[in-house]
Copies of this chain bind each other. A is one copy, B any other.
């Protein structure tokens, strides 16, 4: 129930569910509840000391992994927009996924210099291409601020006030920390809803440049067809570089800037790993729902996921058709399509997985055990007896409103002109307030980044697409009862026959697709904006009270869920007699496991290392299964250099391992037991799309590009030897 009013995120998460665990249904394996909870894990830094690292096969101590008072492995890991990255040299060189660098490659590409198509190799530092929409975040420190945050609320508060109070206190703590630690950025993260809050301190680097990207036929080999799938043959990596001002401080792009010197960089291990070897990952997993109720899962399964799958399918279709007309439009829409397609396929996988593995039933059974535990003691029953009925009632309410709310949200998201208009007007209203009282996006500390994201997102504005989007969403709203009852909205949809024509006229007349116009609007007051009389901006202004109400409803719900889940976590910990790991929340986590295949169905085994021969076998010459001639030539000549897997006699391309990841782990370093880089995480197998809801050692598998493929493509195929030297790797 997170606020959806931000500009559409550029983060590309990637995941995957095929899968045959319906055995669970028949064998009723609900008894393993405790074990599973104990085995899974996206472990926060604060919990590292509690782990038996030796038993996990990790040869580093907790202090060598993370130590706020000294240099540790974590200092080599960073966040690259919504993804994770690793510093792989003392000159700020970062390795992350091709799909994470995609926005930068796309923005640098023109029909003349098509780096998406042909790849990019910088000849020396000066040749590197600035990626102004990128920031790199390095975790510097953290501390628990739960007590401080929770002191701002009291039991008599309404749920809306509760959320507001927590937000405000968090902002105050962030502001205070930033004053104290000049140049760093502070962010409060909720670990357990309504219960645990941690203040993180970050360095934000703002001058990021593109160093090397393989052609997308390598970096996105298999495309949407193979996305969320194993076996995988995608070279999903790129190199970027972070720069600072000459004095080492964070700065936006300037010619005189110098490469950033990380406190620590990750050593590349060109020998890679083999089946059954220990691996571990550090990264910023975004969001999981392992502690949510069966009623939440039911809502997801029956209401939200099917609707998004349907809606996104349509959005993708509209943009794909527009792109088919013209390569320039295709490039414009590429990133948005890829982002939506990724979510759409993940949700389809989740729907299949939820149904086949019968996860709702499993969770219901778990809740029955917990309910029995609650009811077995009168005091417990008095305190916790109503949690489930209250949560169920809340989800029932959400379910009723969701279709309307999602469409209302898409009205100012799918239609880009409306998105820009909403940002402008919302900013104008919010920036009249005291800084601390504003929505986070419009606070001074975030304003520069928000404006940059706005400008970036204007890059894919295409009026003909926008007309179809606007009309299509309005037509869908026409079928929702609450929309018809909203007087302002009703005026837009009361003549179904005219929706398309009106939408077309408004988009023809709006100036919200013009960058100069939008920039001039950013300094105007709400009244001045109204006087501009722009047809799309006017519609947004008319609907603004509706959106404000939706924002309040969301905050009210957040307060309610926060309160209820805090109680649920409390009693669950008592019941399980153990502490457990909070759901992912985009903070730094460690997860460990082994390089390991799995059996997706009876009589089928998937082994955990794919090969270059597999790339060649999949190559049809038709997108997305094209392989560059340079790759084929080096393959035929068997020029594998030192990157040949000794047993397979072939260059390994991708590896599979049973760590616990989710979206946001894209680009995470895959470490061997000594903490050296052996791969870059980029996806999960299809069965593991439901990781977000439940984790299973049988099929929860993540996918990384093998470091040997990275080095072979970079150093041998495209001869970027200087990058290999910079990472301390030789080709011999």
Contacts and interface: CB of A to CB of B under 8 A. Distances in A.
Contacts of A26: 616, 632, 635-636
B604 A606 contact: yes
A23 B610 contact: no
A657 B18 CA distance: 27
Contact of A605 (B601, B605, B616): B605
Given A603-B610, A605-B604, A606-B603, A619 B231 contact: no
Contact of A231 (B21, B233, B604, B635): B604
A11 interface: no
Interface residues of A, number: 29
Interface string A567-593: 000000000000000000000000000
Given A231-B601, A601-B231, A22 B606 contact: no
Contacts of A618: 20, 601-602
A613 B23 contact: yes
A11 B89 CA distance: 68
B603 A23 contact: no
Interface in A10-24: 20-23
B613 A603 contact: no
A608 interface: yes
A395 B606 CA distance: 43
A67 to B, nearest CB: 38
Contacts of A619: 22
A617 B231 contact: no
Contacts of A603: 230-231, 597, 606-611, 614
Interface string A419-439: 000000000000000000000
Nearest to A600: B604
B616 A601 contact: no
Interface in A300-326: none
Given A26-B636, A636-B26, A611 B617 contact: no
Contacts of A601: 231, 614, 617-618
B602 A614 contact: yes
Nearest to A607: B603
A20 B625 CA distance: 13
Given A26-B636, A617-B20, A607 B605 contact: yes
Contacts of A616: 22-23, 26
Contacts of A602: 231, 233, 610-611, 613-614, 617-618
Nearest to A608: B603
A26 B611 CA distance: 15
A604 B603 CA distance: 11
A295 to B, nearest CB: 25
Nearest to A614: B602
Contacts of A22: 616-617, 619
A618 B602 CA distance: 9
Contacts of A605: 604-607
A709 to B, nearest CB: 13
A615 to B, nearest CB: 8
A20 B233 CA distance: 14
Nearest to A26: B616
A613 B632 CA distance: 42
11 contacts: A26-B635, A231-B602, A233-B602, A601-B614, A601-B617, A601-B618, A603-B607, A603-B611, A603-B614, A605-B605, A605-B607
Interface of A: 20-23, 26, 230-231, 233, 597, 601-611, 613-614, 616-619, 632, 635-636
Given A20-B617, A602-B614, 5 more contacts: A26-B616, A230-B603, A603-B609, A604-B605, A605-B605
